[in-house]
Amino acid sequence: MNFTCHPSTLISRIFIMRTSYLYALVAARYAVSHKMVLSNGSDVGQPAGYPKGQPIGQPVGQPVGGFVSVRAGRKQTPFPQWLTDFTGLKEWPGIDPPYIPMDFIDFDKIPDYKRYDQGVCGANPRESCSFDCDHCLAPDDVYTCRKISQTFDDGPSPATDKLLEALDHKTTFFNLGINIVNYPEMYRKILDGGHLVGTHTWSHPFMPSLTNEQIIAQLQWSVWAMNATGHHLPKWFRPPYGAIDNRVRSIARMFGLQAVLWDHDSFDWQLINEDQTVRTEEDIYRDVQEWKHDGEGLILEHDGTFKTVQVGINVNKILGDNQMTVAECAGGIDYIRAFP
Minimum CB distance to Zn ion, residue 268 (Å): 11
> Closest separation between CB of residue 19 and Zn ion, Å?
12
Which residue is at the shortest CB distance from Zn ion? 153
Q: Indicate the residue among 50 and 83 with the shorter CB distance to Zn ion.
A: 50
The residue range among 80-88, 210-218, 240-248, 283-291 that interacts with Zn ion, by the rule CB under 5 A, is: 240-248
Nearer to Zn ion, 134 or 154 (CB): 154
What are the beta bridge partners of residue 329?
A: none
- Are 217 and 99 within 8 A, CB to CB? yes
Q: Which residue, 153 or 263, is less far from Zn ion as judged by CB?
A: 153
User: Does 61 contact Zn ion by CB under 5 A?
Assistant: no
Q: Please, how many CA atoms are within 13 Å of residue 117, restricted to the half-sphere of its CB?
A: 10
| Known active-site residue 302 | yes
> Which one of the listed residues 153, 161, 245, 263 is annotated catalytic?
153
Query: Whose CA is closest to 58, among 306, 279, 289, 221?
Result: 279
Part in contact with Zn ion (CB under 5 A); list of ranges 37-45, 99-107, 146-154, 270-278: 146-154
Q: Is 275 a catalytic residue?
A: no
The verdict on 154 binding Zn ion (CB under 5 A) reads yes
Residue whose CB is less far from Zn ion, 154 or 263: 154
* Contact pick of 132, 134, 141, 153 for Zn ion (by CB under 5 A): 153
Q: Which stretch binds Zn ion (CB under 5 A): 11-19, 48-56, 81-89, 233-241?
A: 233-241
Q: How far is the CB of 240 from Zn ion (least distance, A)?
A: 5
Helices assigned H by DSSP within the chain: 8-29, 81-87, 131-134, 160-166, 177-182, 184-192, 212-230, 246-254, 281-294, 306-319, 326-330
The answer to whether 203 and 239 are in contact (CB under 8 A) is no
Contact segment (CB under 5 A) with Zn ion among 24-32, 102-110, 238-246, 285-293 equals 238-246
End-to-end CA distance of the chain: 31
| Amino acid at site 130 | S
CA-to-CA separations, 70 to 6, 23, 58, 89, 95, in angstroms, rounded: 12, 20, 20, 20, 10
Phi/psi of residue 189, nearest 5 degrees: -65, -40
Q: Which of 184, 240, 297, 312 binds Zn ion (CB under 5 A)?
A: 240
Complex with Zn ion: residue 63 or 111, whichever CB lies closer: 63
Q: Taking a C-beta distance cutoff of 8 angstroms, is the pair 193, 169 a contact?
A: no
Query: What is the binding site for Zn ion (CB under 5 A)?
Result: 153-154, 240
Residues marked as catalytic: 153, 302
